Structure 1
Amino acid sequence: LPALARRVDPRDLYDHTACPLHPSYLPAKLYWLRQTNADLFRRAVRWVSPGENVHVHLLGDAACGEAMASATGLYDQRARAWHGPILEALNISASTLSSLVPTSRPSGTLRREHADRWPQLARAVWFPAVGDGACSNFGSGAGSQGVAALNYGTSGAIRTVVTAPVHFPDGLWLYRIDEARLLLGGAVSNAGNVYAWLMRTLGLDPEAVERHMLDAEPGATGLEFVPHLSGERSPGWNANATGSLTGMRLDTSREEILQAGVEGVLIELLTVHNMLSEAVALHEIHVSGGAVAKSAALRAGLTDALGRPIQVCTESEATLRGAAILALDALGTLDASAVGAELSLPSRPDPGRHAIYRKLEQERTARRPGYVDVVA
């Protein structure tokens, strides 16, 4: 990253693409490929995503929808075009990238050989690929501004749909969905993976952990667990960040270490939630993820950390459902922003526990370097 940051202004790149300079986005990946396999990089004729590759094989051309392009770090949100300065820094010509098309524009029908193979799909209308984050929002009933979707899986994210570009704090990202909507949010690299690592490493019993977490008061262990085991995305975007555990004593138990790890993740999500709330007034949060559905302790912890009611989305395939909803919206069959989802009853936060989480988050944030400090 430092080498690429010397070739392109990270602040200017963030201002134009709304994507931080980070290995999770294409500029860093492409620069790495150029540096480690220059011959392969030089011989590349066309750069496409998996969705574009499927698109060209099935339909005959490699169109890239703005929804996918805007999540690459190569797309200029202002110009709604590929961003010239980052392409120049990478030594990539715009002619080697796919044509940009509106997400809601139909892409045609199957090529003859595929139509013959799948006659049921011969007359189907196809659209450019859309990212799983946007699809998850619409599939979980969070397709309107102010309703946030929180995913708690291996990693985590909080996102809300907005209908116009908004000013947002450093550390978030903004992707385009279609001509009328954008997706504002933040993501953390460490969520369920931290829990799984701790359970495996400490050899804990899931039922014993669940009982401990339900009874435990946040912060009572005196431990601080910084959960950056997979580096950091929001809010600091420090790819080289590492995890740490401080405050241990001889009487510290395995369950207390796991509690500190889960609380560390919840504090990260609270930070992203607070940043998102600065930009958009949130009034609902729909949560999805297998761990949340299974664990009453995790649901309670999320509710207390965020300090607001949450509802768990019980749709079995929210992302696939969201893709279908967006396609039907593009066809004019329905209004994607008005489609709901199957949700649990709201869980209510404990004010006292939320106050503890808020204090812990404020202390952690005061010690955290900013985005520019990390990439400079």
Structure 2
Amino acid sequence: MTSALRFIASGCLVLAVTAVAACAPGASPRPVPPSAPPVATPPPATASEAASGWWRIDGAPQTLASGLSAPWSVVPTDDGGALISQRDDGAVLELDAGGEVRAVGTLPGVLSGGESGLHGLALRADGGTEWLYAYHGSTDDNRVVRMPLLGGPGARTLGEAEVVFDGIPRESTHNGGRLAFGPDGFLYVTTGDAQRREAAQDPDALGGKILRLTPEGDPAPGNPWGTAVWSLGHRNVQGVAWTSDGVMWASEFGQNAWDELNRIEPGGNYGWPVVEGDAGRAGMIDPVAVWATSESSPSGIAAHGDTIFVAALRGERMWVVDTAGGELRGEPLAALTGEQGRLRDVVAVTGDALWVLTNNTDGRGDARPEDDLLLRLTMTPAP
């Protein structure tokens, strides 16, 4: 079922329980509908169950792959390799366990330009099929597709793509694009406001949201409005992760003042465009951490134990953020500052390692001469 039909089917319910709110600065916040159904709390993230406590980056980075072009997302495979998306050419690359990089395939229908193109990837096994999910811009919208991943390690190919969810607004900037399967087994999709600021406060719109879907693309059971929307009031979310205590986190690009790290709650309103950064406004959730845009521009994030690693583009660093019970534990620490250039994505893998994508050859006229890399970082418990 396409997103358009899902939203038509749920529109009457939403209008019946939700008051219309203005979106300009000074507007009243939109409350969570009082008749929203109960929402199940996700269990602790299984990917972090083996890790606990707080972690630090230890030692120099190791290069796993080079010669990448505008890489956007990296996901590990169960054989020790990785799949990497390239935004501008729509290619999916495979890094095998032996360190070789090869093309798996190119997604059809990817529209690139500005910040649009091929974005997030996610993997999910279902019975005997391994599905690769991808978020990408098309002529009309941003959409989520999935395709079977065929072949074995070092010889993978992509099967035919099918649309899982469409109708997400697309523009040259603010396209969101991160995908992640949560500890509850549902697919989380981050969207940007696509330069339509007012959409972020409208629960009927798909822009400026975090969505929560079944693997087939339907609204997940227990979503607060009965639609695909999980939270609203976002400007441009490009990272989601779960710490070992089950708390969901998201990174968000600010406008001119503050970038954010937010603790995500179902039905939560994160303020954009009414507020940016800390505001203390009733009905809106303040970020847990903020940074000046010159120090961050956060994209992908990863959680290991109860530490969050935030990849920063303009800030050219990795922010290391310890958490406890959904709050900060101490001040965020900066690592790799100015050492690797722009950092696009980070993922925690087994063996206390982080994989990090750099994004210097981003195809927008400010490319650097060095190749973009996939790096491996070692983590050690915090003292």
Band of TM-score, shorter chain: under 0.3
By percentage of residues, which structure has more strand?
2
TM-score (structure 1 length as normaliser):
0.26
By percentage of residues, which structure has more helix?
1
Larger Rg: 1
TM-score (structure 2 length as normaliser):
0.25
